[in-house]
Structure 1
Amino acid sequence: MDASDVAISLVICSSLHVLSVEKFLSSGKHARMEKAINHLQNILNTSKLLESSTNDGQQSYDCRPRLLDQAQHAVVMADKLLMEASRHLKFCKGPLAKIRTLVHFMLPRICTMALDFVTIVEDLSTHLSQMQDLSQDPLNLDKTAHRGSVRWDGKVESDIVGREDEVNKLLAQLIGEDGYPDALSLRVISVVGEEAIGKTVLVRSVYNRLEIDHSFQCRIWVHVPEEFTMKDLLVKIMKQIDVLELNDLEHKGEEKIKEIIYNSLVELRYLIVFDNLRKIEDMDEFMIFLADRRSGSRVIVTTRIPEIPSLIDPWASPVKLNELNADAGACLLRECSSIVDNPGLKARILSKCSGSPLRILLLRGLVAASGDSSAVMVDQLADNPTLRAIVSLSYHKLPSLLKPCLLYLCLFPKESAISIRRLFRLWHAEGWVQASLFTVEECFEELAGRNLVQVVRRRKVGGRPKLCRVPSFLYDILCEMATQLGLLQIHSNTKHTDHSKKAEVFNGCPLWTAKYEEDRREHHQHSGIRLQHLRSYVFFYTQKRVTRSRDMEELLGPLIAKGDCGLLRVLDLEGVYKPRLPDRIGNVLPNLRYLGLRRTALDSIPESVGNMSSLETLDLKYTNVRNLPSSIWKVKSIQHLYMNEVCFDESTSRHKSSLKYLSNLQTLWGLCIEVATSPMVDVLSEMTGLEKLGLTGSSLVVEEATKSISDLKIIRSLKLRARDLFGQHSNLNLSDMTGLVSLLDLYLLGRMPQGDSLKLLPRNLRMLTLSMSRLIHDPMSVLGAFESLEILNLLGGSYTGEELLCGSGSFPKLRVLKLWKLERVKDVHVQVNALRCLEELEIKNCGLLKSIHSLSDVESLKQIRLIKVNENLATKIKRVLTGQVFATQDK
């Protein structure tokens, strides 16, 4: 796979960042730079110049050394120029004598560096022009025409078409015909098949089913890496069990952890999946200590080694995955019209893929993206090509600026579920989205549509992706590419990890670094991370209550000692327990755009954060930070603030002149306003770009706040909580909110006035959650007329009456209904043609509820979940309903 196109893409991104430092570029240099960038972009979009041939998985990493050297040199030059510019801007705020010194010595040097950078970009453009021959084999990938050519089809995980028999066999061995495991000794079920045949996808699809969720009291998924210690896997198991002994796991011995796991599981019916087992010895050691009380617990093992199932249990019947037959393979292609309408192309794809579902999905995504109904692209592959060859072709056909986005996914641990919210913020901070015509959403949809990333969970409102995952086979290939390009460095507790040894291209320092959890004994091995050109530093340390204070000191210490300005744009410490942030962190990282401190249990952050003049996202959600330094108002670039009930009342009074910058905010979550006279109430009306708002305040504050936000035209998500001086829920007084036409998701927590308060809500809501509302009149009569409502959650104390009536024709689009802790409700009535789209019903802690009349008439119902309800109610529902997935849960 060619490195040149990715390197050129990074040059374009770096050049755009240099253009933003306008005061150091004359108008002539600025124009020359723009011309060179446009030429580079045109070459990437219109030529196959940078592609290298791929023959059955054999890679050609770069046959043009001079080209790659030039591109890498340009990135390094851009780094140096940006660092000098940042240092100059910082010192310009100092004493007058320093400014004069800088004018005489530093500014000319920066201008010279800017000229050198323009020259090297022009030379690179010229070199490419000499190599380019647009008349031969044009790629025809004009960016504007290509945009939006393929979209994710909405399915969760890869298709398991043609695997129905294997799914049923696995279900039968797990829970039998009656829906519950028989009380036999612990049973191990093997799922075996060659590499990338779909074992993990099949098991995960069963693992996530509702009946499995309710049949087992504890479910644990363990991905078995190629190299690991027994303690590594024990810790993975322990972190998925609800136990209190998670403190200082690194100091607990292996036998102690085994004892804790045994005591935790011995009374439970559990399901454990060991995904990708390679050695039977590992399984033997686990089976010795796993608890077994003849409760019907199960262990699933996926493996590509055909001998392992018989070694585990000679009498067991493993679930074997073979290649798909022609009919099943053709079903995987049904979503692509350009293939369905071309029988010849369909036949070529199926012949190339030999029944491998993953190969079929990749080629389907590639053909759908290209819009090419001929077989020319498919015929570039040899007969029976390897999976690596198909991945190589898929990667080469990506728009150039999407390639770094794809490779960036390798920062996350293998087999991990990646938060879309987190991923989008990181991509945005890296600057690739601004350098292309794609939004972050379109970028992701393009990758998912090509089956290069899997969507594993969607948001209930609008079906937007929430979690994604890179398939294991693809992760390995992409990680190898990223390290070969010198982009990626991974620090891991696995002693055999060698990714860090490969990342030596960009002046000895990678652009992205991920640090996975490791034992303190190995901590000194990673103290040499250098920040000179590092763009992203993402830390995955998930052991609870283990302070990692030294990491930040060792990482940032050299910069602080020099007073230097790093180019770090992303510092993501989500999940790290109380990292010690240096007091001067904001002084040495002025280019930081993303500071992720979610779930770190921090109590405060340094005042110097206000000096991060480029900061766009500050994530403090699920921390103990209750006050932000007033210097935060100096950050003009801030767009996303995630907090936990932080109050700005005093700081806004002192910094009124800076509040105008809040118009850039898109997310303000976890805001607390204590008094209605706070300037923040009026400031809300000025946040014209606000899309998400989470607010806590007194009754009067909430009422005034809803007046202030009534003119926010693009707000999509709103959470309002009313509380009194003692922190208890108070009256939730609302102003007229019907004008918020873009609002889709509304969460109201507090006592709502009786009468017509529900009529003040926007009619186009898709999701509504009510909690502690204390409504005495049946809310269904009003809410049933909300024609766009898809999800309704009536949570604890939201309604105090005895009956709920869903009138005829009400709730025309409602898909999900949750009734939680409605302690006085006795009957629910569903009239003709009501709830006609309802798919999921969940009833929890409604002890007096005796019946739901006419529920059997709701033909769309697929899932019913009953948790701590009257036994007679469960019996009645189970008796009258057939075909739907029904489950009770007494936990």
Structure 2
Amino acid sequence: MDIQFRLFSERLRRLLSGEEVTLPDAAKQLAQNLHTEIEIVTSLLRDYECEIAGHLVNIIVEEEENNSPDLHAIMEEINSFAYESEKVVDTFIVSIAQQKSQSSSKEMCDALVEFRSKIIDIQQRLQQVQHIDTGIVEQIKFIQADTGNSSVSPMFTKRDTVGLDDRMEELLDLLIEGPPRLSLVAVLDSIGLDRTAFVAEAYNSSFAKHYFDCLVWVPQSFPYNFNHILDDLIKFVMPSSRPSEILDKNSEMKKIILREYLMSKRYFVVLADVWSIDVWDNIREILPDNQNGSRVVITVLDSEILTYFQLENGEYIGLDLMPDGRPLRVIYQLWIAEGFIPDNNEGTAEKYLEHLINRGFVEAKKIKVGGRINTCSIPNRWWPALIQVALAGEFIYSSVIDQESDSRKMIKRLTANVNLSELDSLEDFNLYLHSLLCLSSESHHLDPLDCEKICKMFKFLRVLDLGSLVLSQLPSGIEILFFLRYLKLNIPSLKSLPSSFLSSISNLYTLDMPFSYIHHTADVFWEMNKLRHLNFGLFTLPAYPRDDCSSLENLNFISALHPCCCTPDILGRLPNLRKLRIHGDLSNNQSLLSKSLYKLNCLESLKLVNESKMPRLSKIVLDEYQFPPSLTHLSFYNTELMEDPMPTLEKLPLLQVLKLKKNSYLGRKLTCGSHGFPKLKVLHLKSMLWLEEWTMGTGAMPKLECLIIDPCAYLKRLPKQLWSVKRFKKLELWRPQPELRQKLRDFKDKEQYNIQLYPYGI
């Protein structure tokens, strides 16, 4: 509950360090004194974590009992203190930016003195609060059981239906049109909330309700407790008059009674968020198979668990089209823009995420080569509790989740499925809003006047993400958003970035316009020295205007850069760029590009995408390229190389992932020399249509783990040295030649190397 207070403490620290603005000398010492007292209170609050958690539990379950009324009053006062203090600081900083500092400096000093007095009073009262045993562990268990029971009528019934209607039809077919025997269907490969909502839609459909005699949604308890699950089944399957006489019996008798009852029923059971095989081992004992079309659906977090289930005919639904959440780099940038990360460093943000994973609140779904997390999700068992904590603590508001809350004036983060008819409701929210995220999947056109209204209404925004709402031009009003750190706009018709716009967003960390293709950028762009992420469909950097301009030292990500601006002078001004995609006519820019990449001393990931005006006449000569030795990930796309790329690329000392995609190489032979590719772990060869021969020298690719070739219709054999690589554990081949397919089928160690042949299997 004290999250806003802790965030304000961090905000004050940044203010004192000069990260946001230079404080007048008179205010600097007063701010330091206030920060000292706040740190003392923060330290004291750590001793009352159990009591605070217990108070939050009471709010969530709407209990009136308050074990510590003094602490309750203090926490309310602390939240109010943080809100009012940050409001004063924001107003003061804006006044400095508007050159009104003389009149506001005294007001700021007076406010700091008053705030220090308040926090000292809070500190003294907090020291007198008695510790009370709140039984917090038992209350948390109660919340988990309570939120779990509410899932019997699934609480999340909305989903993003784009591209999923066919999947829903497929799921309903398996449920209703499937075989008469009892069948198990698995739903996987999506974030917990959407996966649950998808199954809930089928569960609540009229088709299911008319076809099945009884339906039951079984939530997973954490830790796992089958007796609780058994009791839930009895309560929600049997007539209301029977549970009272059954629940007092032992578990074996309960199983027998429940099984006998289900013998005459066509039932539909959903096992939500299965993370352990134990639940199925226990529950299958009470589910009879009367050949009447009964069904069990499980939602799973990890596809590997399916190996322990006996799925009839491979009946599972993969929600590959379900939105997979935001990329982790975007999440990190949102955290940084909001001030959640003390040093504004993505490495620190990644450590925070790892901490959440270690505590079990977040689950890593895919790990990149090198151990970095690629995608993650929140386990379904935590969704209800985490959402309620966020809402009860007034940390965030979402119209999708909480449409009835009347406590909106203190909330500083808003996520909404905003459409044109809902803009008027924004007036109900705090004018000091920090974040506005529009999550609508529909591409409505947004009137520039409406966008201007948003900017004027919420002039203290740090994050403005208008999502898929389409603008016809750059919005006015952005210039007053002094605190803006993260901006996402959808302007497909935008071709240039004028100086007036760039000057107004000089404090920006992230500029995200994925559907804009920029051909001209004003010179003032080089003054955006806080910029970290630049995400466009295509972007053209301006020539460096003069020697006295500073470099963009913080810029570390560019999604798509036109090769015409990849000069040594321009790339040399991006000293900390770590991830870059270059998209355009690489052939006609060969001499320019090949000699410039070496300037990017920190570059880790590079994608070269060729879009030549003269196809099939590529002038790209790879051995002329001077790649930075720091590269760990390298991808080629449509480069139509005529010469074998391996002799050049195998010399890169740190390269871990190499992808040659879509006609990147047109030759018939690949040759990897002895001891080449010393760090390579993943090799992906895609659409190398004419490849016939591949050889490896002694000691080549000693750390290779994964090889994918798609297709390999003419490749007659794989290098024999491949099977001596100790770490090699995955081989995926598409459309292999019959001779090669047969060799792999006869290969005695095919299971050791996880050999997969597509599309017909091995």
Who is 2:287 aligned against? none
- What SS does the corresponding residue of 2:366 show, helix, strand or coil? strand
Who is 2:161 aligned against? 236
Q: Which runs of 5+ in 2 are unaligned?
A: 60-65, 132-143, 178-184, 189-194, 221-231, 238-258, 282-299, 302-321
Alpha-carbon deviations, 1:434-470, whole Å to 9, x = none?
A: 379982222222222222222222333x231222222
Indicate the larger mover: 9-18 or 772-781: 772-781
**Alpha-carbon distance in 1 for matches of 2:207, 2:424:** 30
**Alpha-carbon distance in 2 for matches of 1:443, 1:469:** 15
Alignment TM-score, normalising by the size of structure 1? 0.60
**Alpha-carbon distance in 1 for matches of 2:5, 2:451:** 29
CA 1:786–1:838 in structure 2 vs 1: closer, same or farther (change >3 Å)?
same
How big is the shift at 1:428?
0.7
CA 1:523–1:871 in structure 2 vs 1: closer, same or farther (change >3 Å)?
farther
User: Does 1:480 find its partner at 2:367?
Assistant: no
User: Does 1:689 find its partner at 2:557?
Assistant: no
**Alpha-carbon distance in 2 for matches of 1:39, 1:714:** 41
CA 1:632–1:547 in structure 2 vs 1: closer, same or farther (change >3 Å)?
farther
User: Does 1:667 find its partner at 2:560?
Assistant: no
Alpha-carbon deviations, 1:795-821, whole Å to 9, x = none?
A: 333434433345565545433222222
The answer to whether the 8 A contact 2:560-2:582 is kept is yes
- What SS does the corresponding residue of 1:804 show, helix, strand or coil? strand
Task: Output the amino acid matched with 2:558.
Answer: L
1:194-273 alignment to 2 at 5 Å?
Answer: 226-228=155-157, 232=158, 236=161, 238-239=163-164
CA 1:722–1:272 in structure 2 vs 1: closer, same or farther (change >3 Å)?
closer
Task: Output the amino acid matched with 2:335.
Answer: W
How big is the shift at 1:852?
1.9
Who is 2:297 aligned against? none
User: Does 1:498 find its partner at 2:381?
Assistant: no
The answer to whether the 8 A contact 1:15-1:37 is kept is yes
1:430-829 alignment to 2 at 5 Å?
Answer: 430-434=338-342, 439-460=348-369, 462-492=370-400, 497-498=401-402, 501=405, 503-504=407-408, 508-516=409-417, 523=422, 526-530=425-429, 532-543=431-442, 546-549=443-446, 553-554=449-450, 556-557=452-453, 559-560=455-456, 566-574=459-467, 576-579=468-471, 583-597=475-489, 601=492, 603=494, 607=498, 608-610=500-502, 611-628=504-521, 632-633=525-526, 635-649=528-542, 652=543, 656=546, 659-660=549-550, 662-674=552-564, 681-696=568-583, 701=589, 703-705=591-593, 707-708=595-596, 710-721=598-609, 726=613, 751-753=620-622, 756-757=623-624, 760-762=626-628, 765-775=631-641, 778-780=644-646, 783-784=649-650, 786=652, 788-806=654-672, 810-829=676-695
How big is the shift at 1:628?
4.3
1:75-90 alignment to 2 at 5 Å?
Answer: 75-83=83-91, 85-87=93-95, 89-90=97-98
CA 1:37–1:194 in structure 2 vs 1: closer, same or farther (change >3 Å)?
closer
How big is the shift at 1:9?
0.8
**Alpha-carbon distance in 2 for matches of 1:768, 1:864:** 20
Task: Output the amino acid matched with 1:452.
Answer: F
The answer to whether the 8 A contact 2:632-2:657 is kept is yes
- What SS does the corresponding residue of 1:620 show, helix, strand or coil? strand
Who is 1:367 aligned against? none
Higher relative contact order (CA 8 A, sep 6+): 1
**Alpha-carbon distance in 1 for matches of 2:330, 2:570:** 27
Alpha-carbon deviations, 1:738-795, whole Å to 9, x = none?
A: xxxxxxxxxxxxx225xx547x445564333344455555444555565543322233
How big is the shift at 1:702?
5.1
**Alpha-carbon distance in 1 for matches of 2:217, 2:79:** 46
Residue identity over aligned pairs, in percent, reads: 18
User: Does 1:285 find its partner at 2:221?
Assistant: no
Q: Which of 8, 14, 17 is the aligned partner of 2:5?
A: 8
Who is 1:374 aligned against? none
Aligned pair count reads 631
How big is the shift at 1:431?
1.6
The answer to whether the 8 A contact 1:516-1:540 is kept is yes
Who is 2:77 aligned against? 69
CA 1:40–1:624 in structure 2 vs 1: closer, same or farther (change >3 Å)?
same
- What SS does the corresponding residue of 1:446 show, helix, strand or coil? helix
Who is 1:863 aligned against? 730
**Alpha-carbon distance in 1 for matches of 2:27, 2:536:** 43
**Alpha-carbon distance in 2 for matches of 1:452, 1:542:** 27
The answer to whether the 8 A contact 1:573-1:600 is kept is no
- What SS does the corresponding residue of 1:120 show, helix, strand or coil? helix
The answer to whether the 8 A contact 1:489-1:503 is kept is no
CA 1:275–1:623 in structure 2 vs 1: closer, same or farther (change >3 Å)?
same
Who is 1:354 aligned against? none
User: Does 1:417 find its partner at 2:325?
Assistant: yes
Who is 1:888 aligned against? 757
**Alpha-carbon distance in 2 for matches of 1:812, 1:592:** 44
1:291-440 alignment to 2 at 5 Å?
Answer: 306=233, 314=266, 417-434=325-342, 439-440=348-349
- What SS does the corresponding residue of 1:647 show, helix, strand or coil? coil
Alignment TM-score, normalising by the size of structure 2? 0.69
How big is the shift at 1:674?
3.2
How big is the shift at 1:614?
1.7
Who is 2:294 aligned against? none
**Alpha-carbon distance in 1 for matches of 2:639, 2:724:** 30
Q: Which of 96, 109, 117 is the aligned partner of 2:111?
A: 117
The answer to whether the 8 A contact 1:642-1:670 is kept is yes
**Alpha-carbon distance in 1 for matches of 2:121, 2:675:** 68
**Alpha-carbon distance in 2 for matches of 1:284, 1:668:** 48
Task: Output the amino acid matched with 1:695.
Answer: I
Alpha-carbon deviations, 1:365-410, whole Å to 9, x = none?
A: xxxxxxxxxxxxxxxxxxxxxxxxxxxxxxxxxxxxxxxxxxxxxx
How big is the shift at 1:535?
0.3
CA 1:285–1:703 in structure 2 vs 1: closer, same or farther (change >3 Å)?
same
Who is 1:846 aligned against? 712
**Alpha-carbon distance in 1 for matches of 2:523, 2:676:** 49
**Alpha-carbon distance in 1 for matches of 2:592, 2:34:** 53
Task: Output the amino acid matched with 1:716.
Answer: E
How big is the shift at 1:6?
1.7
- What SS does the corresponding residue of 1:110 show, helix, strand or coil? helix
- What SS does the corresponding residue of 2:694 show, helix, strand or coil? strand
**Alpha-carbon distance in 2 for matches of 1:115, 1:50:** 32
Task: Output the amino acid matched with 2:453.
Answer: G
**Alpha-carbon distance in 1 for matches of 2:575, 2:34:** 36
CA 1:121–1:851 in structure 2 vs 1: closer, same or farther (change >3 Å)?
same
**Alpha-carbon distance in 2 for matches of 1:628, 1:809:** 45
How big is the shift at 1:683?
3.0
**Alpha-carbon distance in 1 for matches of 2:38, 2:108:** 18
**Alpha-carbon distance in 2 for matches of 1:489, 1:470:** 18
Task: Output the amino acid matched with 1:887.
Answer: Q
How big is the shift at 1:533?
0.8
Q: What value does the CA root-mean-square deviation take over the aligned residues?
A: 4.8
User: Does 1:126 find its partner at 2:114?
Assistant: no
**Alpha-carbon distance in 2 for matches of 1:458, 1:579:** 36
The answer to whether the 8 A contact 2:557-2:577 is kept is yes
The answer to whether the 8 A contact 2:85-2:115 is kept is no
How big is the shift at 1:602?
5.3
CA 1:553–1:50 in structure 2 vs 1: closer, same or farther (change >3 Å)?
farther
